[in-house]
């Protein structure tokens, strides 16, 4: 690769490679999803669910499209403790702040000015509700004025939309009123074409909305953001090289394969490579970063994740009671023999039956599903290609080191063997004591 002669713009490496925040400078368009998302955003009354795996880039993609099509929007982030009242109050509070911060021209419509005044007057109600939450353990009550219809009107006047992040985390009991909110927003499109809810969450999110309100079946756009392709991941690397004026002298397949389709992992590894090479801002002179920086980057990635690895595998391998088969251990051991791209369930079954010929298919189905849940550390995931794989490359490397220490590495490409050796060696160093405990139980 030849470096281009150009005027240097000094970017921070933390703005170029963003493993924990949305990509801005180094955004890679997802053409297969872009058109579908834009069409849904432009269709009046169409509510939207954007879903995909954590780290797949769904929030970044949505943010980019909203910046293109909306002047502003509000975002509510949910958790396992989020109630409908809390979610609604958060939205009103943000809308109220928007009116306070916005400069209104003298030519504003009367309805718009009236609404701004009304929402401003409701601020004391919101603050009172918020204060009461600290004084009482009782369920917070939303003031009668703060309704979904009122929120839709307020957003509609300003041509804004409401983004609900992590919709899937909302408790089941709270999903009924939220699903009804989707319908109300859809109905309000007759008066405000732009107003809509965009829910962001896991794969079951859209089913949750429809299950609690069947009328939403034909008013909802379900948009799946898949894992990034190898070419898209490589574009993240190349964009970063150009923005930082560096050249990563390592095979592109190493970074893209290690990332297993997750934009966040790709950004994390590239960031660590730059930090290992003391690159913090765009360089005035080009610099090559090679295998030494890659090795340091992977070791740093492993060290930062060691506590997560321990916690995840402790949950995955915990036996609630003694059974005929140690199902989770058998499945993870089998997956460890495969490549980073994963294995089909039939391949996992074949591998287990080499040792346990009578192992039942039903056990495999049950525990493959269970190992993908947070209760079991979410150590594996079910990809759109039908394969089961470890949810983090470190998990895969750790499983190889613990379950199959005597086996040779089985990888799709020989050039990945040095990378696996780095990961496995680093994991062994960082988790030796508790890994040994698991080995003794095997």
Beta-ladder partners of 164 = 76, 199
Asked if residue 161 has pLDDT above 80, the reply is yes
What pLDDT is stored for residue 431 in this prediction? 47
| pLDDT category of residue 203 using cuts at 50, 70 and 90 | low
Asked if residue 210 has pLDDT above 70, the reply is no
- In angstroms, what CA-CA distances link 291 with 254, 298, 309? 11, 10, 25
Across residues 124-131, what is the average pLDDT?
Answer: 54
Of 58, 70, 75, 69, residue with least CA distance to 23? 58
Of 87, 224, 86, 56, residue with least CA distance to 165? 87
What pLDDT is stored for residue 144 in this prediction? 56
Give the model confidence (pLDDT) of 183-200 as tens digits: 899 999 999 999 999 999
Q: How is residue 372 written in tokens?
A: 């993908």
What share of the chain has pLDDT > 70, as a percent? 74
Of 53, 58, 63, residue with least CA distance to 33? 58
| pLDDT category of residue 250 using cuts at 50, 70 and 90 | confident
Across residues 233-247, what is the average pLDDT?
Answer: 94
Sign of the dihedral through C-alpha 131, 133, 136, 138 = positive
Give the model confidence (pLDDT) of 38-83 as tens digits: 999 999 999 999 988 777 788 889 999 999 999 889 999 998 888 9
| pLDDT category of residue 344 using cuts at 50, 70 and 90 | very high
| pLDDT category of residue 214 using cuts at 50, 70 and 90 | low
Asked if residue 127 has pLDDT above 80, the reply is no
Q: What is the DSSP-derived secondary structure letter of residue 225?
A: -
Q: Do residues 340 and 399 lie in contact, with contact meaning Cβ atoms separated by under 8 Å?
A: no
Measured in whole angstroms, the distance separating CA 53 from the mean position of its chain's CA atoms is 5
- 67-71, 209-213, 313-317, 332-336: segment of lowest average pLDDT: 209-213
Measured in whole angstroms, the distance separating CA 249 from the mean position of its chain's CA atoms is 29
Q: Which fold has domain 31-224?
A: Rossmann fold (3.40.50)
Give the model confidence (pLDDT) of 355-408 as tens digits: 999 999 999 999 999 999 888 998 998 876 788 988 887 788 677 766 754 444
Q: Do residues 368 and 402 lie in contact, with contact meaning Cβ atoms separated by under 8 Å?
A: no
How far apart, in whole angstroms, are the C-alpha atoms of residue 285 and residue 357?
A: 61
Asked if residue 135 has pLDDT above 80, the reply is no
Who has greater pLDDT, 229 or 403? 229
Q: Is 184 helix (H, G, I), strand (E, B) or coil?
A: helix
Q: How is residue 343 written in tokens?
A: 């294995």
| pLDDT category of residue 428 using cuts at 50, 70 and 90 | low
Q: Is 432 helix (H, G, I), strand (E, B) or coil?
A: helix
Asked if residue 129 has pLDDT above 60, the reply is no
**What's the pTM?**
0.72
- Domain positions in the chain are 31-224, 228-291, 298-441
| pLDDT category of residue 217 using cuts at 50, 70 and 90 | confident
Q: In what order do the strands lie in the sheet with 161-165?
A: 73-77, 161-165, 197-201, 47-51, 220-224
What pLDDT is stored for residue 177 in this prediction? 87
Who has greater pLDDT, 138 or 77? 77
What share of the chain has pLDDT > 90, as a percent? 32
Assigned CATH class of 228-291: mainly alpha
């Amino acid at each position: 690769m030849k470096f281009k002669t150009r005027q240097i713009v000094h970017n921070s490496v933390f703005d170029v490679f963003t493993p924990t925040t949305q990509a801005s400078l180094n955004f890679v368009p997802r053409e297969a999803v872009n058109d579908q998302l834009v069409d849904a955003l432009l269709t009046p009354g169409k509510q939207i669910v954007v879903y995909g795996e954590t780290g797949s880039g769904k929030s970044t993609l949505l943010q980019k499209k909203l910046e293109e099509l909306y002047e502003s929007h509000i975002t509510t982030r949910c958790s396992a403790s989020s109630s409908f009242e809390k979610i609604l109050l958060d939205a009103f509070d943000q809308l109220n702040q928007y009116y306070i911060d916005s400069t209104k021209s003298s030519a504003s419509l009367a309805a718009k000015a009236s609404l701004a005044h009304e929402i401003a007057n409701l601020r004391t109600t919101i603050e009172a509700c918020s204060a009461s939450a600290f004084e009482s353990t009782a369920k917070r009550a939303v003031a009668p004025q703060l309704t979904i219809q009122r929120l839709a009107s307020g957003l509609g006047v300003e041509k804004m939309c409401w983004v609900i992040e992590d919709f899937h985390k909302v408790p089941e009991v709270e999903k009924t009123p939220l699903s009804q909110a989707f319908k109300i927003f859809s109905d309000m499109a007759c008066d405000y074409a732009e107003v809509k809810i965009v829910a962001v969450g896991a794969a079951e999110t859209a089913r949750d909305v429809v299950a609690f309100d069947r009328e939403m079946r034909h008013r909802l756009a379900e948009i799946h953001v898949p894992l990034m392709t190898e070419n898209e991941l490589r574009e993240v690397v190349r964009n970063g090289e150009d923005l930082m004026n560096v050249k990563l002298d390592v095979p592109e397949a190493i970074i893209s394969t290690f990332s297993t389709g997750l934009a966040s992992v790709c950004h994390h590894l590239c960031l660590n490579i730059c930090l290992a090479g003391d690159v913090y801002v765009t360089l005035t002179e080009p610099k090559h970063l090679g295998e030494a920086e890659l090795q340091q980057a992977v070791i740093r990635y492993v060290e930062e994740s060691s506590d997560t690895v321990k916690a995840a595998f402790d949950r995955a391998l915990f036996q609630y009671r003694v059974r005929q088969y140690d199902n989770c251990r058998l499945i993870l051991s089998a997956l460890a023999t495969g490549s980073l791209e994963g294995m089909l369930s039939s391949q996992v079954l074949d591998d287990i039956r080499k040792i346990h010929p009578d192992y039942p298919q039903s056990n495999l189905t049950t525990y493959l599903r269970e190992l993908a849940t947070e209760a079991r550390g979410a150590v594996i995931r079910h990809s759109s290609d039908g394969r089961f794989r470890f949810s983090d490359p470190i998990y895969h490397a750790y499983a190889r080191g613990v379950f199959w220490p005597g086996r040779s590495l089985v990888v799709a490409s020989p050039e990945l063997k040095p990378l696996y050796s780095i990961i496995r060696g680093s994991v062994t160093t960082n988790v030796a004591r508790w890994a040994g405990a698991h080995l003794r139980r095997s």
